[in-house]
Amino acid sequence: MNKRKIMDNIFWMGVIDWNRRLFDGMIPIPDGTSYNAYLIEGSEKTALIDTVESEWSETLMKQLSNVKKIDFVISNHAEQDHSGSIPNVLEKYPESILICSLKAKDLLTAHLKIDAERIQTVEDGEVLSLGNWTLKFIYTPWVHWPETMSTYLQEEKILFSCDFFGSHMATTELFAGNNQQISDAAKRYYAEIMMPYRKIVQKNLDIVKNFDIKYIAPSHGPIYDEPEFIISKYEDWSSDNVKNLVVIPYISMHGSTKEMVEYLASALADKDIRYEIFELNVSDIGKLAMALVDAATVVIGTPTVNVGPHPKAVYVASVMSVLKPKLKYAAVIGSFGWTAHAAQNICDIISNLKLEMLGNVSVKGVPTASTYKELDALADIIAGKHYSLMSK
Ligand code: FEO
């Protein structure tokens, strides 16, 4: 794709990657993604904000073929999907200076072997003149690396936010509007990338809300021409408020755990408690992560394999431990053959989440009348907790 005009002298550059399905070797991205770079041609100086994955360098260099000079290459984030082609750009424009945050310098030299002599670091709040336009650098750390910053084009009120507010979405739409599909992709992105830093996201939202913003131009997915659309979503997702939702990831070997899950789910529905079930052999872990953005409670269903939880339940518990959703309550249910340690193992894995454990229903073999009674009791406890949350 050629470069695209956003407005006079400001262009989208980069790549729409329709085929990519996995990020960081583990994160499913069913809708592909894009790597956005932005060219800003001021009256005196020209800046390029971020680049693309090194495997797509040729595409970016073709887009730059008619650009005679670049004075500043701005790296908002050192991760390679945005910095991977910086060496090519610096080579093509030997007079250009690489601008980055203080913490990014070390990362850019370590990951890309960039000559430190080419780098000029900027402080939080520092400005850079392009002649008629001014760029202001705003430190927005931990979204999602320690060095991340945003760049604000003051006169045109554009916030170039890199990963912050991004969406893994391959589309020819340059602008997001209030498109629900893009909102869903942004939620998946938030869940998979930003959620572990939820509290810092809140702080960064407070920072960027101090600026008059007409456009948010992230480095993945479309540009937000209605910035309040994505800011309000981020405020909701990162808030401390949970919703009336129980997420139930489970795996079953001989059907008993499945039967327990279905019984509990039915009991919850009878009490107007919403739930989403994720059978771990068929479920998209990204969809599960999206549900965890909102959920108040997780119930993990796992049988015992030998003396511990099923490996797929261990995996989902580990993912939760890493993503750090704002859950408040948890429980474990499942069947075992001859010994029952699965629940304690799962609790240990997610102990960093500091959840209130609401119970452990386990049964030797197939569920019995007593099992159903315990599941009814668990549903009562969950409902009580949810009613109490909703009434606040
Ligand atoms: Fe899109 Fe953290 O890189």
What is the pLDDT, as a whole number, of residue 353? 97
What is the pLDDT, as a whole number, of residue 339? 84
Q: How far is the CA of 110 from the centre of ligand 1 (A)?
A: 16
Numbered ranges of CATH 3.40.50.360 in the chain: 247-382
Mean pLDDT by 10 residues, the chain (392 residues): 96 96 85 97 98 97 97 98 98 98 97 96 98 98 97 98 97 94 96 97 97 98 97 98 98 97 98 98 95 98 94 97 98 93 94 97 97 98 96 81
Pocket flag, ligand 1, residue 163 (CB < 6 Å): yes
Q: How far is the CA of 323 from the centre of ligand 1 (A)?
A: 16
CATH number of 247-382: 3.40.50.360
Q: How far is the CA of 29 from the centre of ligand 1 (A)?
A: 13
Among 387, 392, 32, 3, residue whose Cα is nearest residue 188: 32
Own/partner long-range contacts of 224-233 (Cβ < 8 Å, ≥24 apart) = 224/165, 224/175, 224/176, 225/175, 225/176, 225/177, 226/176, 226/177, 226/178, 227/159, 229/176, 229/177, 229/178, 229/183, 230/165, 230/176, 230/183, 230/186, 231/165, 231/205, 233/183, 233/186, 233/187, 233/190
Backbone angles phi, psi at 103, to 5 degrees: -75, -20
Name the β-bridge partners of 331.
299, 359
Nearest atom, ligand 1, residue 148 CA: 2
Q: Where are the alpha helices (DSSP H) in the chain?
A: 57-63, 80-83, 86-92, 102-112, 180-189, 198-208, 227-238, 256-270, 285-294, 311-323, 342-349, 369-390
Q: How far is the CA of 150 from the centre of ligand 1 (A)?
A: 13
Pocket flag, ligand 1, residue 17 (CB < 6 Å): no
Pocket flag, ligand 1, residue 168 (CB < 6 Å): no
What is the pLDDT, as a whole number, of residue 47? 98
Amino acid at 309: P
Pocket flag, ligand 1, residue 82 (CB < 6 Å): yes
Pocket flag, ligand 1, residue 77 (CB < 6 Å): yes
Q: How far is the CA of 349 from the centre of ligand 1 (A)?
A: 27
Numbered ranges of CATH 3.60.15.10 in the chain: 4-238
Helix axes 285-294, 311-323, angle to 10 degrees: 50
Beta carbons within 8 Å of 157's beta carbon, 6+ residues apart: 211, 212, 213, 214, 215
Model pTM? 0.95
Pocket flag, ligand 1, residue 147 (CB < 6 Å): no
In this structure, the number of other CB atoms found within 10 A of the CB of residue 370 comes to 10
Statement: 4-238 belongs to CATH 3.60.15.10: yes
